[in-house]
Every structure is written in C-alpha cells, then in structure tokens.
C-alpha cells in the first residue's frame, strides 16, 4: 500500500497475510476533522461499535481502560487494546484541550468480523478536542526522532508503543477541529467477539 509520508499510517509489509486482512477492515478516511468519527464507524458497516464520552480529568483514563477491558473481555487482544487506550487517552488529556477545563474525550471501539474463520478486527479510536501538536511517534529505544517536544521519557513514547502493538495505527484531524487517533488489532474470535 502506498500513502503520503507523514499521514500517520503505519503499515505492515505488502502482500503479507496481516496486511491483506487489515486492508479489508481498516477504514479509508478522506477528510479530517469531526466527520472522521462517523467515517470510522460506517467503514465497518454491519459490525458492532461502542462509543463513550469521558470528562477530561486524569482519573478518566482509568475509566476508559475499564470500558475497553469490559467490551473486549474474552478476546485475544483485550490487553493490547487496554494498553492502547491508556496511551491514547493519556495523550488526549496531556496534549490537547480535552484535558482542560470542561474538556472531554471519546473512546470508540469497533469489532468487525474477518472474512477468515475465527478471526476478527478490532479498531480502538480516541477522539480529542484539538489543540496541541500533530500526533507523532517517538522511538521506543530512546532515540529522539519523532518526539514532539520535551524529554523523551515524557513525550512521543506512547505512540511508539501503540505502533509496536497494533497491526496498524493512524490519525486524522487538526488542532482546530480535534484529532482522532486509531489503532487496529487482530483478534482470535472468543466469546466476546463471536457472540454478537
């Protein structure tokens, strides 16, 4: 797959089974901003989508983790999804207007059945209220490449962790309209995925 440099997409090698599976389930987002949320949902027509708004307080990152854990209990990707939402909610609270007075962030979880038996795709997205810089992944090994600002221990590592865990991740939006940062995971169908 080809895409524009800096568009926030992280790909796996072309032609691999994981890239073919993910290509069929990952949304095509053409326009940034507030419309991105509905585009994420409708790209998975016929699937299950849950969304919840959280107040922009630090204690709400833990509530977002519990929400995702509850929804994905029984799946093979529950731990990874919980880690991802923790990083993305934390980023929304620290780096955007979502963490300011009256701020909020939205967590959206989409489960889509795969054309492959016993497999499913899970998309976890966090929508913020904008402000701050464009999301960038720093290096997990401590290299300063990709760090937006500040010390590498504090900034840039969250998205690097998301990139390492997810099959694919990306973002759209702007500091004016808000960002949507999403991560796609594969799941083996357990009770939580196959029962709907």
pLDDT of residue 189: 55
Average pLDDT over residues 46-61: 91
Percent with pLDDT over 70 in the chain: 57
Does residue 96 or residue 132 have the better pLDDT?
96
Range with the poorest average pLDDT among 61-65, 96-100, 137-141: 137-141
Range with the poorest average pLDDT among 20-34, 110-124, 167-181: 20-34
Q: Report residue 96's pLDDT band, with 50, 70 and 90 as the boundaries.
A: very high
For residue 89, pLDDT beyond 70? yes
| 8 A C-beta contact, residue 169 and residue 181 | yes
pLDDT of residue 180: 94
* Range ranked top by mean pLDDT from 32-46, 120-134, 141-155: 120-134
In the chain, the domains with their CATH numbers are 17-194 (3.30.565.10)
- How far are the Cα atoms of 30, 34, 35, 149 from residue 39, in angstroms, in the given order? 9, 9, 6, 31
pLDDT of residue 69: 95
Range with the poorest average pLDDT among 54-58, 68-72, 174-178, 191-195: 191-195
- How far are the Cα atoms of 60, 63, 135 from residue 170, in angstroms, in the given order? 23, 23, 9
User: What is the sign of the dihedral through the CA atoms of 178, 72, 120 and 160?
Assistant: positive
pLDDT of residue 175: 87
| 8 A C-beta contact, residue 156 and residue 147 | yes
Residue 25, Cβ density class (10 Å: 0-12 exposed, 13-18 middle, ≥19 buried): buried
- SS3 category, 44: coil
DSSP 145: T
How much is the mean pLDDT over the chain? 71
Output the six-digit token pair for 165.
Answer: 């865990």
Buried (b) or exposed (e) across 71-95, using 16+ Cβ within 10 A? bbeebbbbebbbbbbbbbbbbbbeb
pLDDT of residue 178: 93
């Amino acid at each position: 797959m080809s895409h524009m440099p800096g568009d926030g997409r992280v790909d796996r090698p072309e032609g691999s089974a994981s890239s073919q599976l993910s290509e069929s389930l990952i949304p095509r987002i053409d326009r940034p901003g507030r419309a991105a949320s509905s585009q994420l949902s409708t790209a998975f027509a016929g699937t299950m989508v849950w969304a919840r708004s959280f107040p922009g307080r630090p204690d709400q990152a833990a509530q977002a983790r519990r929400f995702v854990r509850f929804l994905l209990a029984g799946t093979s990707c529950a731990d990874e999804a919980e880690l991802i939402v923790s990083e993305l909610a934390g980023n929304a609270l620290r780096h955007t207007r979502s963490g300011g007075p009256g701020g909020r962030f939205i967590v959206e979880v989409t489960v889509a059945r795969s054309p492959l038996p016993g497999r499913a795709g899970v998309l976890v997205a966090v929508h913020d209220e904008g402000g701050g810089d464009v999301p960038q992944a720093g290096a997990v090994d401590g290299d300063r490449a990709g760090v937006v600002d500040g010390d590498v221990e504090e900034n840039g590592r969250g998205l690097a962790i998301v990139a390492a865990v997810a099959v694919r991740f990306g973002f759209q939006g702007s500091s004016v309209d808000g960002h949507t940062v999403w991560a796609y995971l594969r799941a083996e169908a357990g009770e939580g995925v196959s029962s709907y």
